[in-house]
Amino acid sequence: MLNFFKNKFIKTYKPILVIVIILIICIFGFIGVRKYSDYKNLQQNTTQELIQQQQKSLEEAIKEINDLKSANQATSEKLDQKINQIESKSQKTDSIGSTDLEPYITGVVEITCKDSSGSGSLWNIDSKNVVITNDHVVETPFYSSYNKQSYCVVFAEKINGDFDMIYTVFPSSKWNWNNETDIAVMNLVEKFYPDGNPLPSELEKPANHLNFKISTLKKCPSQIAVGSPVVVIGYPASGMQETFNGMGIDAARIVTNGVVSGYDKTVNPPYGGLLNPNYYVSAKIDSGSSGGIALSRNDDKLCVLGIPTWINVGNYDTQGVIQNIHNVMK
């Protein structure tokens, strides 16, 4: 009897049990599939976000690199410009070229006296056209018995060295700013005829025709640095040549370059009465260029350094020096 009920129970509930088990398996399978699907979706979303983040980081990195390149290029360009400016300034500071000098070269003239000759520079001072030279250049002038006047002759040349005009100065009327300097300042005289005979009209242009631009240059500092560039313009004895079969002398206007090589302080107290040192320079100076002009450069502009002078030093030697323009002019 017991077996009967047991068998009947099994026959009755076995299908139900199988169905329940299948349902349980299906439920767990569904849950597993759902979780796997959710996991895959989450993984895909995470991967997509990671890719997007990496893409964004890459774009930001590329932008930063481009910005750095632009900044580096701008910095490099600025650096190149700065280097070019420094090099340009250095080149300008270390040399004085023909372009710098051209406006002033014809402002230097040749002065010829009876037993001496030299150079001079043209200036406009207090609205007067004057020549500045060394006092010793005009120590022995010619004498005109016709005019009862001592005089020296001033020869002006064109930029190419061709003869231009003749003028006259009277050493008897010379003056200076400081008696301790070797300086003579004289008015430029037109139409002076030593023998009473006028010159050809083409040689008698007014003095205003000449170049007085040296007057517009500023003075160099009172003690410019050693090593500063120097240009001396004048008619040195080394540039004189015999002409006309030995019957005449042709003097060439010559430019010589050098640097300030030292200071001559023997002109300062307690040895002398001048306030500023004169200059020793490496540019060639001799008796002919004495009285010309010496130019230098300051703040990238030409300036007047002083007046070249040929002097005796000690008992045995001679030396070219530049009289400081601050000693020459007050």
**pLDDT value of residue 23:** 72
pLDDT band at 313 (very low <50, low <70, confident <90, very high): very low
Q: Under 8 Å CB-to-CB from 164, ≥6 apart: which residues?
A: 106, 156, 157, 158
Residues paired with 306 in a beta bridge: 294, 324
Between CA 297 and CA 310 the distance in angstroms is 23
**pLDDT value of residue 60:** 79
Calculate mean pLDDT across residues 271-288: 84
Is the pLDDT reported for residue 6 higher than 90? no
Dump pLDDT digits (tens) for 148-193: 999 999 999 988 888 888 999 999 999 999 999 999 999 999 989 8
**pLDDT value of residue 316:** 41
Dump pLDDT digits (tens) for 212-224: 999 999 999 999 9
Calculate mean pLDDT across residues 272-296: 86
Average pLDDT, the chain: 81
Q: Under 8 Å CB-to-CB from 182, ≥6 apart: which residues?
A: 134, 135, 136, 309, 311, 323
pLDDT band at 211 (very low <50, low <70, confident <90, very high): very high
More confident of the two residues 111 and 8: 111
**pLDDT value of residue 284:** 76
Is the pLDDT reported for residue 92 higher than 50? no
* Residues 98-328, CATH architecture: Beta Barrel (2.40)
Between CA 288 and CA 283 the distance in angstroms is 14
Among residues 251, 213, 259, which one has the least CA distance to residue 234?
251
Calculate mean pLDDT across residues 54-78: 75
Per-residue tokens: 303:
């300036």
Per-residue tokens: 296:
């230098």
Between CA 268 and CA 14 the distance in angstroms is 136
Is the pLDDT reported for residue 276 higher than 60? yes
**pLDDT value of residue 149:** 94
**pLDDT value of residue 277:** 93
Dump pLDDT digits (tens) for 224-245: 999 999 999 999 877 666 665 5
Contact call for residues 257 and 283 (beta carbons, < 8 A) = yes
